[in-house]
Each structure stands twice: as C-alpha cells, then as structure tokens.
Amino acid sequence: MRVPIFDQDVAPPSRPSKPLFTTKIVPASYGYSWAVKKGQRFRVIDTHGQQVVDFMAWTRSGKKCNLHEKVSMAYTRYHLSGATPAIGECLWTNADEPLLKITQDTVKVHDMTFMSCFPELYAKKGIKGHRSCASNIAEAMEKWGMKSYLEIADPFNIFQNTPYYSLKPLNPSKAGDYIEFEALGDCVCAVSCCPYDIEGFNGGIITDIAVVMEGDGTLDDVDNSTTEWIEYVDGRPDWSEETRKEYRALRDFSL
Ligand SMILES: [Zn+2]
C-alpha cells in the first residue's frame, strides 16, 4: 500500500474564502477574557452608546498568561508623552514593550487616569454586593490563574470621558462606535462592561457590549460568526425595531 503524500494526494482542509470574524456579546455589568494571537485584530464595540468598557491585557506564552507582565497606563503615558493613544499608537506593557496597536477608533475619547470601580466603592455608597469592574475582570481572569481583584491592572477605560482629568458622567460613544486593536504579541485581553449605574454614568443604564475578533478559535461562547466585521449601528443586529425604539428612549444624548 502506498502511503498518501499530503501535498499530492489529500485535499487540504477547507478554509473559508474570507477571514472569519467571531463575536462575543458581553452582557451588561459582566466581564470577559479571551486569548489573542500576534497579528490578530479585534474590536470592542459599544452596541448601545455611552457604555464605558474597562480594558486590560497581559502577555501570554502558549496557554500561560503572564499575570505580572501587563499593559500599563503609566508606561503608555510615557511613550505617548500624555494621553490617550491616537490611531497607530500603542498600549505598552510594564516590560516596556508595545503590546496592542490602535488600528481604528470611531470615538477617540478614552480614559487612562481612573481606576476600575471596585467592591468597596459601592459598599461605601451603601450598595454592598454591587457588581464592579475590578471583580468582573478578576472573575473573567480566573481561568488564567487570577485569584483576587487586587491583582488587576490599571485599566484603559474605553469610551470614558475625563477631560482635564475630571470625571464626567456623559460619555461620547454612540451605538455602533468601536475601537480596534492589533496584537503585536500573543496576549490575553479582558473587558468589563462597567456596572456603575448611579449618578448618571454609563447613560444611566448599563448595556451589553460586543467583542468582535478576527480569525477563529480564540473566543469562548461565541454568539455569532461572519466573514466580515459585523456592524452594530443601532443595537444588536437581531433586535426588533420595537426593542431599538425602547433603547433609544432610554438614551438622552442631550444631557
Ligand atoms: Zn466600572
């Protein structure tokens, strides 16, 4: 019997003619983490508008996330000579390496100053047990070995509006706005859909966000896969017009 020679006798595995894009909808007030390969791009999308997304990233060696080597806001500010990154600029790690390049950005307003909201912040305001970005990220990072929310990094607060380092409740992002990154090395990324639902922040109501990833195989619990970047112009693509109207009514952009 002749042993087949792969290249000549066996058809190569079928591949989609266009790159695959997978989407994970991160539920309002929850977090999510996923692996990214060097060269892959992904988008973090505000599907409804005015939703802050706390973002962090760590370097990765195969299946091991290097929890000590992470994107650092201080290192990034140093390399940018300020804040925040423009398209083509990078988020840098505490090992002084660029890890994620901003490749597109429809908002261009983000925060590199404030910490993630955390359990005691809510407890001190009398709302004990409220979800927080710090615990969301720690929960999402458990599978990568994180044990406590005290291990998280300072966040890159996507879509958060802090002019002159002052915290403002009104965020500029509208439904469908996004920021796109390209990984310059293998990494693990995590997001928290900020659950701060008091004092008018996050549009006064917390909503889902979407992570759309270029290429197959690095998102868990995928909600959608397409051969193009999926657009979220006004809420989720599967929404009825009635649902869109309800959400529009909840948003008052004239605040
Ligand atoms: Zn938060």
- Averaged pLDDT, 123-146: 97
CA of 15 to the centre of ligand 1 (A): 40
CA of 164 to the centre of ligand 1 (A): 20
pLDDT band (50, 70, 90) for residue 255 = very low
> Phi/psi at 159 (nearest 5 deg)?
70, 10
* Alpha carbon 53 to its chain's center: 6
Give the CA distances from residue 6 to residues 11, 12, 17, 60, in Å, rounded to whole numbers and listed in that order. Answer: 8, 8, 21, 32
For residue 103, being part of any structural domain is answered with: yes
**pTM exceeds 0.85, yes or no:** yes
For residue 246, being part of any structural domain is answered with: yes
CA of 224 to the centre of ligand 1 (A): 26
pLDDT of 10-54, one tens digit each?
A: 555 565 566 789 999 999 999 999 999 999 999 999 988 889 999
pLDDT band (50, 70, 90) for residue 237 = low
Q: CB neighbours (10 Å) of residue 104?
A: 13
CA of 61 to the centre of ligand 1 (A): 29
Which residues make Cβ contacts (< 8 Å) with residue 110, sequence separation at least 6? 84, 85, 156, 157, 158, 159, 160, 179
CA of 89 to the centre of ligand 1 (A): 25
Give the C-alpha separation, 144 to 211, whole Å: 19
For residue 202, being part of any structural domain is answered with: yes
CA of 232 to the centre of ligand 1 (A): 22
For residue 59, being part of any structural domain is answered with: yes
CA of 114 to the centre of ligand 1 (A): 10
Which residues make Cβ contacts (< 8 Å) with residue 70, sequence separation at least 6? 56, 57, 58, 59, 93, 94, 153
Per-residue pLDDT at 46: 93
Per-residue pLDDT at 223: 85
Give the CA distances from residue 91 to residues 82, 161, 212, in Å, rounded to whole numbers and listed in that order. Answer: 12, 18, 19
Supply the range of the domain harboring residue 66: 17-250
Q: CB neighbours (10 Å) of residue 154?
A: 18
pLDDT at 3 over 60: no
- Averaged pLDDT, 138-157: 97
For residue 2, being part of any structural domain is answered with: no
For residue 8, being part of any structural domain is answered with: no
| Contact (Cβ atoms closer than 8 angstroms) between residue 75 and residue 100 | no
pLDDT of 105-123, one tens digit each?
A: 999 999 999 999 999 999 9
For residue 161, being part of any structural domain is answered with: yes
CA of 169 to the centre of ligand 1 (A): 12
Which residues make Cβ contacts (< 8 Å) with residue 212, sequence separation at least 6? 21, 22, 23, 42, 43, 45, 178, 229, 230
Give the CA distances from residue 83 to residues 107, 136, 178, in Å, rounded to whole numbers and listed in that order. Answer: 14, 25, 18
pLDDT at 1 over 70: no
pLDDT at 245 over 80: no
CA of 184 to the centre of ligand 1 (A): 27
For residue 7, being part of any structural domain is answered with: no
Alpha helices per DSSP H over the chain:
6-9, 73-80, 119-124, 133-141, 241-250
> Quick one: what percent of the chain has pLDDT higher than 70?
87
CA of 109 to the centre of ligand 1 (A): 16
pLDDT band (50, 70, 90) for residue 167 = confident
Per-residue pLDDT at 252: 47
Q: Which residues pair with 60 in a beta bridge?
A: 65
pLDDT at 80 over 90: yes
Q: How many domains does the chain have?
A: 1
